[in-house]
Amino acid sequence: MAIRGWGGSVAVAIGVGAAVGAAQLGLGYGLDVISFAPDTGGRLSTEGWVTSLTWATWIAATSTIAGAIVADRLSGRGPATGPATGPAAGWDPASPADPTDPTERADRVTTRLWRLVLATAAALGASATVALVAVPARVAVLDDVPSPQTVAAGYAALGVVVSLLVALAALAARAVAANLLATAAWLWLIAVIAVTGGVLSGRDRARVPLGFWDVTADGPWFRSVLLADAGPPLAAALLIGLLAALPAARRGDRPVGLVGSGAAGPLVLTIAYLLTQPDLVGAGAVDISRHLVVPYLVLAGLLGSLLACAVRARSAPPAARPTDGTPPPVPMTARVPAQRG
């Protein structure tokens, strides 16, 4: 169902951004993956504090992106699909969709401004996460953080701001949007599995790191990287990058958005980790390993989308050739040799 009018689309972007943020934070508080309550001893551990901030930052960012995507799709102005046009893609100068035409250039500018408006509106709605994070953070007691609610609100606000560019990319390419949504679904899935496993096994309350299984540090290790902890997220980033880009590759979408789509979801995860990075001097070995691994998730996702491009190239049908013996048409840019008299 398409929404008519810019006012309705802006309202949808604001509403969806706020609703998705509230829903994700409610799920996070309910599963106890975000908790600012003091641990044993009356104080919140540094690990629990950083884990909660990472989740809050990521939720604020994904809420902005989700609001922009939903509003854009409902507006009926989604990104163009199908083979790219233009001189590099075999564009016919006689085609009515002339990219050099002033009207076409104006349409492109209007489309970009429209996407910026939707992303900004979604960020405005997702700003509700700032208050929803700050209020519970008031109960946190830490030695070196005098105002935890202010710090927590600041990280949520940073998540909203840095996600604006990613939201614009998601509005420009369906493959980017698919990767972001699939990555978010995967991260919540492993969080639910981790919490459920802990409840069924009767384990004590433990933190649930964003994007990782909470494994022991027994090994195997490769330098400073815990392989058992790094393997699953790297494999997931590769697989999601491949599967999310395959439909776009089969449609023949624009190669820029297709190739870069694999990095979108891991990039948001990496930003959340880098923004909330603790003092690695006193951090545990597993925490150091995770902060070393998250940038490589972006590369793994890119590799997955590149594999999708390779599948597209191998499955592309060969160009049609004339069967009646006539020679192929000569390109318009080819030079005709001068005839000798």
Residues near 171 by Cβ (< 8 Å), separated by ≥ 6? 68, 69, 72, 78, 79, 115, 118, 119, 177
Q: How far is CA 41 from CA 36, 142, 152, 155, 279, in A?
A: 14, 11, 22, 26, 22
Check residues 71 and 106 and name the one with the higher pLDDT: 71
The CA angle 149-154-157, to the nearest 5 degrees, is 125
In angstroms, the CA 178 to CA 118 distance is 18
Q: Does residue 185 sit within a domain?
A: yes
Residue 319 reports pLDDT greater than 50: no
In angstroms, the CA 47 to CA 249 distance is 41
Q: Does residue 332 sit within a domain?
A: no
Residue 333 reports pLDDT greater than 60: no
Confidence (pTM) = 0.81
Q: What's the pLDDT band for 37 if we cut at 50, 70, 90? A: confident
In angstroms, the CA 36 to CA 52 distance is 7
Q: Is 226 helix (H, G, I), strand (E, B) or coil?
A: strand
Arithmetic mean of pLDDT, 143-166: 92
Q: Does residue 294 sit within a domain?
A: yes
Q: Lowest-pLDDT range, 13-17, 52-56, 100-104?
A: 100-104
Helices (H), the chain: 6-31, 46-75, 102-126, 128-134, 148-172, 174-201, 227-251, 255-260, 264-275, 285-315
- Total domains present in the chain: 1
Q: Lowest-pLDDT range, 67-71, 194-198, 317-321?
A: 317-321
In angstroms, the CA 298 to CA 214 distance is 21
Q: Does residue 309 sit within a domain?
A: yes
Q: Does residue 228 sit within a domain?
A: yes
Q: Does residue 101 sit within a domain?
A: no
Q: How far is CA 211 from CA 74, 188, 227, 230, 305, in A?
A: 30, 8, 14, 10, 20
Q: Which domain holds residue 52?
A: 6-86+109-315
Q: Does residue 191 sit within a domain?
A: yes
Q: Does residue 104 sit within a domain?
A: no
Which residues share a beta bridge with 226? 221
Residues near 102 by Cβ (< 8 Å), separated by ≥ 6? none
